[in-house]
Structure 1
Amino acid sequence: MTTTVRRAGAFALVGTGGLLVPAVSRVAPQVVAAVAGTVPFTDRMTSQAVATVAGTLPFIAVAVLALYVIDEGFVFELFARPGDREDGRLYGLAGFSLAIAGLSLLGLQFALPMTVFSTAVFILAYGNLAEHLVRAWRSDPAVATAGFVAGGSVLGFGAGLATVALTPESVLPATLAFFAVSGALLASLLRAVLFARDDPLVMVSVALLLWLFADLGVAVSPVRVAVALAVTGGFGYVSYWLDAASIAGMVTGVLLGLLTIVLGDYGWFAMLITFFGVGALSTKFRYDEKQERGIAQENEGVRGSGNVLANSLMALVAVVGFAASPTYVPVSPAVFLYAFAGAVAAAMSDTLSSEIGGLFDQPRLITTFERVAPGTDGAVTWQGELAGIAGAGLIAAIAVAFESVQPLGALVIVGAGVLGMTADSLLGATVEGRYFGNQVVNFLATAVAAVGGGGVALALGAL
């Protein structure tokens, strides 16, 4: 057993102690009632205080020991990361324990569901252990990432089931499975872009996302979750195998796909995956020629998490808005459908106009129409514009096929896509490279399209 595996196992053992928190939350009122003989309001407050102290104090104590007491010996070597050895302090263990203590405080004093608390803790603790076990067997980063997601999902789901048994919370297994998988994917993504010492931030971020999902009260279908896992996992693997996305980009795409199917619908996912697929193919199309012209996407066309998020974040916002409406957002759910489709259509239009239009000579700057060199930010060609309109039309056609969108609605989606494509070109000609990078410009363009598509739908009574 390697040092990293032993260390991950030790952290997982500490994380397992998190199940004491939901147990304490159930036992504390019974203890106070037995002592007081009754449970008036003041005793309920006392039971809450007792549960909070009993649930958080052990993890605070571990953090204190890690920072001020344990500086050598077996326990120190078991938990120490390379940076900890240099400083003589178990900062990693302290941060991990304090994150659990903070989340337990949110659960015992505020409204964080205990199932969310335990799921988030186990995802990070056991996902990390599974990843290191896989790395000890095979060094492929993609396989190790799959190990983290699989281990975190299974143990996070198990922790959720255990918490349901320990507390009065009633959460369906399908919902727990959705929480576990989406949380594991988010944790894997954050770990890919952050440092190992930021694991406490990852744990808290996962808990906050799952808390949002819990508050939305989305009805999660077991069949839809199973289909989402199978389909998104398959597409994620294919995209990585074809070198269309990096590991972080693959994880980001799978997470977006999962959320789109579960919170939105299959038609929403069809639009999203069409953009990913067609966009990847257009990037690879005549790639050598694009390299010669100096317009090829970097990393041989492999899309990272930043690129995927820049083009899809507004679509994800629309999906969450759809799930929250009309209960939390007083807007018709159909408005968010058009915002989603508009954002995806804009991403498709911009990608095709750039990847296809860049292959033709004599592009013109969109602001002045003067001839510029291929690859100039804000440069357009009529061939690229037609390709962009066709891309928006493809997304609109999928919306018609899956979501019963009427012809007028399809025109709104095409218009939103073209609007976003034009906004991208205008931003490219004016602010890209000076104030913003390409990914920010892509995000702003999809935001313009989402607002345009959703705004028109709202003005027309959601069509």
Structure 2
Amino acid sequence: MTSTLRRAGGFAAVGTLALAAPELGRAAAAPFAIVALLAAFVIDEGPAFDLFARPQDRRDGRLNGLAGFALAATGLAILSTAPRASMPTAVFVAAVFVVGYGNVGACAVERVDTDPFRVVAGFSLVAFAAAVAGQLVVGWTLGSSRPVPTVVFLAAAGALVAALLRSMLFERDDPIVMLSTGLLLWLFEGIGVGPGFEEVGVALGVTVALGYASYRTGTASVPGMVTGVLLGLLTIVFGGFGWFAVLIAFFGIGGLSAKYRYEEKRSRGVAEDNEGARGSGNVLGNAAVALIAVIGFAASAEFPVEGALFRFAFTGSLAAAMSDTLSSEIGVLFDRPRLITTLQRVDPGTDGGITWQGYLVGVVGAGVVAGVAVALFGFDRPALAAATVVCGGVAGMTVDSILGAVLEGGRVGNQTVNFLGTLAGAITSAGLAVLLL
């Protein structure tokens, strides 16, 4: 039976057909379409079948995995050649290479070590290198060099996006990973990369180092670490280091609060799962609104919206996340909580249950975010700006508790409630900024 590394190498070889796109022009999708047809309807035995067949393919007698991979590449190729789509050819090639060659890196590591961190690192490093090489080759073929910061940023972002999705999905979902990566890279390309090579390099180095530290200290799982690194990279590139400092203040303090007196929380039955390490869902639930805000800020020149409002939305959402995290992690250590909607006494850890101590700590957490934001963003009226951020944090924390009491459980999970709470914080801060500043 073919080893997973050889099979991954076969998929990568198919992905290399993307390099023919500059020469093929509007026919760039043809090689992948042909591969998809052969995989789905022609090849059902022989060396090619043995090379590409996954266990499920052998049971079905059809190379569904290869067909899906080739069809996803076909779709991206069409987007890169359609007159009204205009996905850059380099983005198409980067997305295909990230998945195809990233899997080679992951499989190579898995042959000697199955540690999840090392497997993800192997995927990301090889995917990054392949995406850089693919973009440079396309630029050379087309006779137009792409800016180095753009090449490095798109390769890093693509590797991280694919690594994150791959950690959450199955091997058979590679087509989804490829399409999602391609579409996101297209969005990032459209926004543009402002910083130079040094800034992008520093951003990548800082976020990777902090992500590794969060994993080693147990404050983040492997998917949570990858998500945090991706968020950090996007925040620095599209916002700046000041935005990143606000983000890292939340992740740092919030992560440590989950570890604070963890054994006592465990004994009380209110500790977070996975030893308090943040997963990707937790990270995205708390920071998705902030990411939308920083991307909106980067794209604000194209819309009739003040860029400063996105700063308040960003800081307000993170103030809400900080408030909710601290109030929850500290509040559960105190007895006699009350349900926020009825003020009836409930057991510690009950969704929507609050203590005055936890609520007070939540207000302090919002103040910390406000202080960092005012110090780094240089608002014209710092005291009033800080007050709007604190109000956003408290409003988001309150909304989160109310939604937890009313909705959480069943189909509405904690991540959804966190997202809505941070959204409330962003809207409150931005709205107050419009009215008062």
Q: TM-score range by the shorter chain?
A: over 0.9
Tell me, yes or no, if structure 1 residue 331 matches structure 2 residue 328: no
Q: What's the offset of the Cα at 1:136?
A: 1.5
Q: Is the 8 A contact 2:17 2:31 kept in 1?
A: no
Quote the residue 1:104 is aligned against: 77
**Which of 144, 148, 152 matches 2:127?**
152
Quote the residue 1:390 is aligned against: 364
Structure 2 CA distance for aligned equivalents of residues 238 and 105 of structure 1? 41
Q: What's the offset of the Cα at 1:2?
A: 7.1
Structure 1 CA distance for aligned equivalents of residues 20 and 118 of structure 2? 32
Structure 2 CA distance for aligned equivalents of residues 372 and 193 of structure 1? 35
**What are the superposed Cα offsets for residues 102-143 of structure 1, whole Å, 9 maximum, x if unpaired?**
111111113111111111111111111111112123221111
Q: Show the 5 A alignment for 1:105-144.
A: 105-109=78-82, 110-144=85-119
Q: Is the 8 A contact 2:149 2:193 kept in 1?
A: no
TM-score scaled by length of structure 2 = 0.96
Q: What's the offset of the Cα at 1:326?
A: 2.4
Q: Which moved more, 1:218-227 or 1:261-270?
A: 218-227
| Shift in alpha-carbon separation, 1:351–1:336, aligned structure 2, 3 A | same
Structure 2 CA distance for aligned equivalents of residues 58 and 428 of structure 1? 51
Q: Which moved more, 1:173-182 or 1:239-248?
A: 239-248
Q: Is the 8 A contact 1:107 1:113 kept in 2?
A: yes
Structure 2 CA distance for aligned equivalents of residues 192 and 434 of structure 1? 25
Structure 2 CA distance for aligned equivalents of residues 56 and 274 of structure 1? 45
Q: Which moved more, 1:217-226 or 1:143-152?
A: 217-226
Amino acid at match of 1:67: A
Quote the residue 1:426 is aligned against: 402
Structure 1 CA distance for aligned equivalents of residues 411 and 21 of structure 2? 48
**What are the superposed Cα offsets for residues 297-337 of structure 1, whole Å, 9 maximum, x if unpaired?**
1122121111111001001100110111022x211111001
Structure 1 CA distance for aligned equivalents of residues 390 and 154 of structure 2? 34
Q: Is the 8 A contact 2:338 2:355 kept in 1?
A: yes
Quote the residue 2:191 is aligned against: 216
Structure 2 CA distance for aligned equivalents of residues 307 and 217 of structure 1? 28
Structure 2 CA distance for aligned equivalents of residues 359 and 434 of structure 1? 26
Q: What's the offset of the Cα at 1:146?
A: 0.5
Structure 2 CA distance for aligned equivalents of residues 149 and 184 of structure 1? 5
Q: Is the 8 A contact 2:370 2:390 kept in 1?
A: yes
Structure 2 CA distance for aligned equivalents of residues 315 and 98 of structure 1? 34
Q: Which moved more, 1:338-347 or 1:283-292?
A: 283-292
**Which of 276, 291, 316 matches 2:266?**
291
**Which of 64, 85, 93 matches 1:91?**
64
| Shift in alpha-carbon separation, 1:417–1:106, aligned structure 2, 3 A | same
Q: Is the 8 A contact 1:59 1:101 kept in 2?
A: yes
Quote the residue 1:379 is aligned against: 353
**What are the superposed Cα offsets for residues 134-160 of structure 1, whole Å, 9 maximum, x if unpaired?**
212322111110011111111101111
Quote the residue 1:361 is aligned against: 335
Quick check: which has more Rg, 1 or 2? 1
Q: What's the offset of the Cα at 1:163?
A: 1.1
Name structure 1 gaps, 5 residues minimum. 26-51
1:11 aligns to what SS in structure 2? helix
2:346 aligns to what SS in structure 1? coil
| Shift in alpha-carbon separation, 1:445–1:23, aligned structure 2, 3 A | same
Structure 1 CA distance for aligned equivalents of residues 314 and 196 of structure 2? 22
Quote the residue 2:391 is aligned against: 415
Structure 1 CA distance for aligned equivalents of residues 344 and 432 of structure 2? 33
Quote the residue 1:450 is aligned against: 426
Tell me, yes or no, if structure 1 residue 165 matches structure 2 residue 137: no
Name structure 2 gaps, 5 residues minimum. none
Q: How many residues align?
A: 433
Q: What's the offset of the Cα at 1:453?
A: 1.1
Q: Is the 8 A contact 1:175 1:220 kept in 2?
A: no
TM-score scaled by length of structure 1 = 0.91
Q: Is the 8 A contact 1:2 1:136 kept in 2?
A: no
Q: What's the offset of the Cα at 1:431?
A: 1.3
Quote the residue 1:204 is aligned against: 179
Quote the residue 2:158 is aligned against: 183
Structure 1 CA distance for aligned equivalents of residues 125 and 2 of structure 2? 21
Quote the residue 1:77 is aligned against: 50
Q: Percent identity?
A: 55
Structure 1 CA distance for aligned equivalents of residues 106 and 203 of structure 2? 23
Structure 2 CA distance for aligned equivalents of residues 93 and 160 of structure 1? 23
Structure 1 CA distance for aligned equivalents of residues 136 and 435 of structure 2? 45
Structure 1 CA distance for aligned equivalents of residues 114 and 262 of structure 2? 30
